[in-house]
Amino acid sequence: MRIYERYFARQVYLSFIFILFAFSGLFFFFDLINELNSVGRGHYNFSFAVLRVALQTPSRFYEIIPVAALISAIYVFAQMAANSEYTIFRVSGLATNQALRSLLKIGIPLVLLTYLIGEVVGPYTDQLSERVRLEALGSAVSSNFESGVWVKDTLTARADGEQVTRFVNVGELRPDATISNVRIYEFDSKFRLSNVRIAKSGVYQPPGHWKLTDVTDTQLIDVVPPGVTPTDALNPVYRAKQITLPEYSLRSELTPQILSVLLVSPDRMSMFNLFRYIQHLTENHQDTQRYEIALWRKLLYPFAVFVMLVLSLPFAYLHTRAGVVGMKVFGGIMLGMSFQLFNTLFSHIGNLNTWPAPLTAATPGLVYLVLGLVGLKWVDRH
């Protein structure tokens, strides 16, 4: 890096670290206040609340990094403009396109940091945070249905290659990824109910099996030969055979990672888990729009750092004194907040209107990138 690039980088990184921790401390305070509503329930005391909020801090870092990059760069360039430092750089031959390239080089480590937190650290600590809370409360995860969670599972399970479709009802998903109060309704290739299994609990045994305990297995067996139509439609065409098993090994495409989407919202899942869950939904002919948008947002969001840095560069060309630096920083905060709000709002609108996921995820960043380039061109001319 050139001397001026090292100077820019040092100033931006120091400001970035300060702003990142300042904003995350503010969010920590608000999250802790919100968590106090659960303190006193079960074994959930204040120390558990602090631990849970602390484990959510990496995800807060992930959300704040682009805005922190914008504010830190605006602050640095506003200070340089107030002290006429940037004017000296320009007189020394620093062109606008050179400054832009240097600023984007400074943003590369921040983009990599965003990917690292969003893909490795954040999803793990979020799941750990939910498990800490659930274990302290002595509760389990379930959906809004009183019966629990319903999941569709399709696989080729029989020796003759016939496809089997299951609808799995999980009453409770515990923090250790074990399941309880399980009901499995199995249908054959003609969508006729062929088997009903009820299990008290289950634990995953890789690869691809669930060990169910205290199982009641009800088989529905045809009593009419294939191809023969019963003479009386009121008479049953099958008989039921019920057996009780202490344990049963069930082959299934469902994994704890798929069920763990109940512990973390799609926006806080890793791209790998999102991709696997989208595959599962696609194989079972279920809607994937929400998760596809989340996947593309995870893929493109780190590049918002570059967009924010482009937005910050025009502030270096505004020749104002130090008294207006605070106004520039305030404008940067409002600009960053507007980007976050627009990004979230556009995702919901795209989900409601079933717009293509790549377009929905990329549009907010492209809009602000164009805005930054237009502003940079305007201040360069004037």
Is the per-residue pLDDT at 18 higher than 90? yes
338 vs 93, residue with greater confidence:
338
In this predicted structure, the answer to whether residue 42 has a pLDDT above a threshold of 50 is yes
Distance of CA 276 to the CA centre of its chain: 13
On whether the CB atoms of residues 158 and 164 are closer than 8 A, the answer is yes
In this structure, what token pair is assigned to residue 134?
């659930």
pLDDT at 322: 44
Report the pLDDT averaged over residues 269-298.
Answer: 82
- The region of weakest confidence among 2-16, 147-161, 248-262 is 147-161
pLDDT of the residue at 37: 84
Instruction: Write out pLDDT tens, residues 198-211.
Output: 999 888 888 778 89
How far, in Å, CA of 118 to CA of 269, rounded?
Answer: 8
pLDDT of res. 139: 52
The pLDDT-based confidence of 172 (bands split at 50, 70, 90) is confident
The neighbour count for residue 371, using CB atoms within 10 Å, is: 16
Distance of CA 311 to the CA centre of its chain: 26
pLDDT (tens digit, 9 = 90+) per residue, 70-102?
Answer: 999 988 888 887 777 877 887 888 888 888 888
229-272 confidence digits (pLDDT tens): 655 555 556 778 888 889 888 888 777 766 666 556 677 778 88
Q: Which pLDDT score is estimated for 335?
A: 85
Quick count: other Cβ atoms within 10 Å of Cβ 261?
Answer: 16
pLDDT at residue 305, as a whole number? 93
Under DSSP, is residue 246 helix (H, G, I), strand (E, B) or coil? strand
- Domain residue limits, the chain: 3-138+289-381, 149-259
For 147-204, the DSSP string reads: T-EEEEEEEE-STT--EEEEEEEEEEE-TTS-EEEEEEEEE-TT--EEEEEEEEEEEE
**What is the percent of the chain where pLDDT is above 90?**
24
What's the pLDDT score for residue 227?
Answer: 60
* Cβ partners under 8 Å of residue 114, min gap 6: 62, 65, 66, 301, 302, 305
In this predicted structure, the answer to whether residue 143 has a pLDDT above a threshold of 70 is: no
Q: Six-digit token pair at 112? A: 């990599």
CB 332 within 8 A of CB 316: no
β partners of residue 211: 203, 249
Lowest mean pLDDT among 210-214, 229-233, 351-355: 229-233
pTM of the model: 0.71
Q: What mean pLDDT is reported for the chain? A: 82
Quote the pLDDT of residue 178.
Answer: 78
| Separation CA 49–CA 208 (nearest Å) | 36
